[in-house]
Amino acid sequence: MWAGRVLHAALSGASRGRRAQSALAQLHGILEEELESIRRAGTWKSERVITSSQGPHIHVDGAPGGIINFCANNYLGLSSHPEVIQAGLQTLKEFGAGLSSVRFICGTQSIHKDLEAKIARFHQREDAILYPSCFDANTGLFEALLTSEDAVLSDELNHASIIDGIRLCKAHKYRYRHLDMADLEAKLQEAQKHRLRLVATDGAFSMDGDIAPLQEICRLASQYGALVFVDESHATGFLGATGRGTDELLGVMDQVTIINSTLGKALGGASVCHLLLSAVPPRPWTCSWRAMPSSSLWRPRPCAPQPRIEPTPPALEVWSINHWTPRFRSQMEAAGFTISGANHPICPVMLGDARLALNIADDMLKRGIFVIGFSYPVVPKDKARIRVQISAVHSEEDIDRCVEAFVEVGRLHGALP
């Protein structure tokens, strides 16, 4: 009797094992089929491994010699600035690597509060709160602020984190055509039946290099009793007279309700610390409210990024980025390329075909230029591009070499006559 039960249990275990293996094999087959379709479409994405610090010139695994980097959000060239690195090391010694838990549980450090106060003053806001990731800030905001009685109106090309945050909230959702103010007005009229209305937009759009018409957005928001949220991640530090972003550039700082931005792009790139201004942390028990690593929050000292926190723009860096950007755009357009966006250091080279963008990016690396092709689902289908990003620490020679390589490779692949 016991032998029969043991045999039955063994057979049952073997049967479960076969079913598990069968399910795993089925999953493997499904994934391989999907991955093969991605390869055929030319939208396969692989990582390139950088073996040096971030900067205008880098080393890439598998690529001989030095590579000129046109992929970083390192707008002011601060990511590897010696004084930024030294400030981080000193703060690490004084405050350690972090608090090992969430601020709500274990408390917060003085450097967190000091930086939040500086950021609030810089953006002329009532308060600021630090988040470890922009996705956390954007995905938490809308759910915390809006209910099923409210409405949110979003530009169709907003960053994925804004789209995800809106998807998570219970508010009624309206999507207006990219930069189309007539469509936004129509949606605002339709949304008048809801309690609160919030217009959400990127300040500078990361895939397209264009800037939201904030003056018109704020005018419509005022006319229809709406609030305005702006993500300034690709604007803080270098747009506007003192680098406060697109709201300063377009003169509407007093009309924008909530700002989200980052310290990880123009202001150094060494920190993944993001800030959400004038908003309540949505989930105090999750990682979105975790204390930032202390080494990411430089203690106030006269080092390179400090002028970006206090409103004194670094004239040389801003001049450089404002000079190299039109140089690149004008030369590329003269060669026959289509460059999307306005006079922003994000310069998307529009190619349309995903495989073409991938192949051109690969051949550019062989010529010592680091660029990446962007294709679906990161950008809409048939809108594949290579996004070139200009930094203040690029040189005139860097810009010209990049253009020359684009022309050579573009002709090789038939993108240019």
**Under 8 Å between Cβ of 25 and 32:** no
Q: Report the alpha-carbon distance of residue 38 to residue 43 in Å, rounded.
A: 5
**Under 8 Å between Cβ of 349 and 343:** no
For residue 295, indicate whether it is catalytic: no
**Cis bond before residue 348 (omega within 30° of 0):** no
Q: Report the alpha-carbon distance of residue 37 to residue 393 in Å, rounded.
A: 40
Torsions phi, psi for 295 (to 5 deg): -65, -15
Angle at 180 between CA 177 and CA 181, to 5 degrees: 130
79, 154, 161, 206: the catalytic one is: 206
For residue 187, indicate whether it is catalytic: no
123, 159, 234, 274: the catalytic one is: 234
Q: Report the alpha-carbon distance of residue 8 to residue 199 in Å, rounded.
A: 63
Among 151, 142, 213, which residue's Cα sits nearest to residue 177? 213
Q: Report the alpha-carbon distance of residue 360 to residue 384 in Å, rounded.
A: 12
Q: Strand, helix or coil at 285?
A: coil
For residue 265, indicate whether it is catalytic: yes
Q: Report the alpha-carbon distance of residue 333 to residue 401 in Å, rounded.
A: 15
How many other C-beta atoms lie within 10 A of the C-beta of residue 17?
Answer: 10
Q: Is 242 exposed, middle or buried (0-12, 13-18, 19+ CB in 10 A)?
A: middle
**Under 8 Å between Cβ of 176 and 183:** yes
**Under 8 Å between Cβ of 354 and 377:** no
Q: Report the alpha-carbon distance of residue 73 to residue 204 in Å, rounded.
A: 13
DSSP 59-123: -BTTS-S-EEE-----TTS-TT-HHHHHHHHHHHHHH-S--SSBHHHH---HHHHHHHHHHHHHT
Backbone region of residue 401 per phi and psi (left: phi > 0; alpha: psi in -120 to 50; beta: other values): alpha
Give me the active site residues, please: 206, 234, 265
